[in-house]
Structure 1
């Protein structure tokens, strides 16, 4: 069967562009489903799924949305309705790619729907809004972004090239997705474990991943860049994971100190809420991330700073910061509903926090460990204090093996060995 491309957008303002795209996609051999997510929509646009059906899919009254004084709320409703429509198309096997375009309003509506689709389903957003901070458009999903260069307003010399490229990309991705749907699926998937990694904890996570793979797991590694942490949290909440190996919790430092890689206030919560077995460590809590040196806030100018490269400046977290990070880590782990262990590397938490390294500060690390232990008093969270650096392969393998034990015993009630255990 021909691959199916869903065109999703606000046809009351972008009808010309969508009709142009539809012609090109059909000429390329695709079936096209045109979905109108506009407020108020365009009844003459020839949409396969008109705006009224999109609104109804969100449980909203289309007439009320058209007359609503709060346009933002109306747009949010259409985003939810569009997500429901796409989910139904996907469930029926009638969606191989989604292509959306728009300015600020159209991008807000369509991006919400794109993010709701599973990872692996091709989704492309063309917009004037995606040349800056795009975190709100992407979230933890695999949305592909293309900057439109000019405003999405008519077909001209520039938009013809940009939108033509977008159509070509959608055709290629849809064809690949359609082909995957016909491929034989493995009889049984290996259980999934999510892990968090940063450049300065790569040796630890690599060794742990290799050990978990030997034990029969597929390991999904997330780069702890804020977006990566949010993606990990989203996956942990989604019910697909057997466990979480959260060795790199550095995003908590950015949340605390205003760095550029914060994953937000919900970091390190989803696995606990879902009752997933988890092993957590202090990876890269010794640093907060900023952009080029000139972007570091003035009140941090006298801190211990390391220019990682021209675009990234690292700031060493000091003793009070580390104490607060230990408390935060402990409080979030204490709330976990599932078996949880924290592994503390006593010889450093990153590649820079080593003997003679620029971020070695044993007193700061000790403040974190002490505050963490205090926050976990009276809880069932295990504490493993290991006389090793986080990047020591033995440390990483021990953490991986303990996660395997927690996973294999999680269904039998309280985990053997649970409690404030101190292992050295």
Structure 2
């Protein structure tokens, strides 16, 4: 039996959830309807009542109603929903999750979804899905679907959107149920090849690909994260979960965006998890020669005079200055000198991206030199190695050398994790 859990506020979205339940049943999927509403009366009966959800959060529904604090009530019901879906999953009564809602309902349901293992189907239909969904998705595998119109009744627009969502989660849940269990990060770390995390952007792809191919040949499975902000946050989160034997962090463009106000920042904790956890890491300076912004027409006035390059219709980049590069070098050094595990920085002296190669639009030896100098000064006296190569970051020889160095570090640090190659 395939079961999809529906998580939602049945006082405001009861009609929609009743419709979804019937659609799923017609698709041959059973449902468990979890009510996370607080104030109004549910419009359809729930399988897990709002009172039960509140108690799962450690409070009584009457307390939430009496408190008159909508934000506090949403937080409590989100906590209760999380504990409820984890219980259902542990009982084998959850093969997928579907929810619909606005900002409040999306916050509640996606907290519950984020708590579930990777691989469990998760579909969120939301009026918030056309904007920044990072707070809702986090580092999970939630599929966000824009509702187009608000979740307010079944009509000629909402009906096909909701039908597609129900049919999608039904298909995913059937496949998941047939596979019998989720793919949890801990399973990946112990089954088969040891895992290595790698960071990559379009402008560092050739070098990272060479490193990935080398590590694959040595016996590792390499998971590559696009340095898009979300990618860096996910990399850090999974390193913190103990998933990886080592980290090959060759692309740090998100640090430049964080420092200089770009749009693809991963936040201030980027380049922290491996050092904090003591995971062997080989780091480079890929794409620190640029900061990413949105479409050209949206470029802030303060950077319009800089060296500007249209990367694609959605992304415009500017060259980091000598002063910014010096600050970035000091920042990288400060993060790495506190690392508790084996750490090396591989410095490609001939350029940090496809644009920064000799003859490229962002080739700037003075700015790169400021980056290198600040890095050297910041690492002086620390346990972190600083190894310089007379190559460009996208030279395949550089990628292979970085991969070999990480392999040696893993072997010395955790011999049981290093494949024989």
Pick one of 398, 402, 405 that aligns with 2:401.
Answer: 398
**1:368: Cα distance to partner?**
0.9
Shift of 1:44: 6.9
C-alpha deviation, 1:273, in angstroms: 1.5
Give CA-to-partner distance per residue, 1:291-322, whole Å, 9 cap, x none: 11121111111101111122211100010111
**In structure 2, what is the equivalent of residue 224 of structure 1?**
227
- Kindly state the Cα deviation for residue 170 of structure 1 after the two structures are TM-superposed: 1.0
Instruction: Tell me what 1:158 maps to.
Output: 157
Cα RMSD for the two superposed structures? 2.0
Q: Of the candidates 296, 299, 302, which is equivalent to residue 299 of structure 1?
A: 302
Alpha-carbon distance between aligned partners in 2 of 1:41 and 1:397, rounded to the nearest angstrom? 61
- Check whether the contact 2:15–2:43 (CA below 8 A) recurs between aligned residues: no
Superposed displacement of residue 40, structure 1: 4.2
Contact 2:176 2:182 in 1 (8 A): no
From the superposition, tell whether residues 174 and 41 of structure 1 become closer, same or farther in structure 2 (CA, over 3 Å): farther
Q: CA deviation at 1:394?
A: 1.2
Which one of the candidate residues 188, 200, 203 is aligned to 2:206?
203
Could you say which residue in structure 1 is the equivalent of 2:74?
75
1:141 is aligned to 140
Contact 2:8 2:35 in 1 (8 A): yes
Q: Is the 8 A contact 1:121 1:177 kept in 2?
A: yes
TM-score between the two structures when normalised by the length of structure 2: 0.93
Question: Secondary structure of 2:6's partner?
Answer: strand
CA distance in 2, matches of 1:405, 1:96: 41
- 1:377 maps to 380
Distance 2:195 2:227 in 1: 18
Q: C-alpha displacement at 1:81, in angstroms?
A: 2.1
1-side partners of 2:242 and 2:372: how far apart? 31
1:246-285 CA distances to partner (integer Å, 9 max, x unpaired)?
1001000110111111111111111222221111110000
Provide the TM-score with structure 1 as the length reference.
0.92
1:321-336 counterparts in 2 under 5 A? 321-336=324-339
User: How many Å apart are 1:188 and its aligned residue?
Assistant: 3.4
User: Equivalents in 2 of 1:279, 1:245: separation in Å?
Assistant: 5
- C-alpha change, 1:40 and 1:217, in structure 2 (3 Å) is farther
* Contact 1:273–1:336, Cα closer than 8 Å, also in 2: yes
| Correspondence 1:271 to 2:270 | no
Structure 1 unaligned residues grouped into runs of 5+: 413-424
Task: Between 290-299 and 108-117, report the one with greater CA deviation.
Answer: 108-117
Superposed, 1:314-325 pairs within 5 Å as 314-325=317-328
Which residue of structure 1 aligns with residue 418 of structure 2? none
Candidates 253, 257, 260, aligned match of 2:256: 253
Find the residue that maps to 2:262 and give its secondary structure.
Answer: coil
Match of 2:86 in 1: 87
What do the CA deviations read for 1:188-212 (whole angstroms, capped 9, x no partner)? 3211111100001001111111111
Give 1:376 shift: 1.6
Aligned residues of 1:348 and 1:354 also touching (Cα < 8 A)? yes
> Where does residue 415 of structure 1 map in the other structure?
none
The 3 A distance-change label for structure 1 pair 41 and 219 is: farther
Paired with 2:232 and 2:364, the residues of 1 have a C-alpha distance of 26
Equivalents in 1 of 2:200, 2:252: separation in Å?
9
Within the alignment, does 1:167 sit opposite 2:166 as a pair? Answer: yes
1:11 aligns with 2:10: yes
Q: Is 1:180 aligned to 2:179, yes or no?
A: yes
Tell me what 1:108 maps to: 107
1:50 matched to which residue of 2?
Answer: 49
CA shift, 1:43, in A, is: 6.1
Q: 1:162 to 1:222 in 2, by over 3 A?
A: same
Q: Deviations over 1:321-374 (max 9, x none)?
A: 111111111111122222111111111111111111000011111111111122
Measure how far apart 1:225 and its partner are: 0.5
Residue deviations 1:114-159, cap 9 Å, x none?
Answer: 2222222111111111112222222222211111122111222222
Describe the shift of the 1:367–1:60 C-alpha distance in structure 2 as closer, same or farther (beyond 3 A): farther
How far does residue 287 in structure 1 lie from its aligned partner after superposition? 0.5
Contact 1:193 1:243 in 2 (8 A): yes
**Using a 3 Å threshold, how does the CA distance of structure 1 residues 81 and 272 change in structure 2: closer, same or farther?**
farther
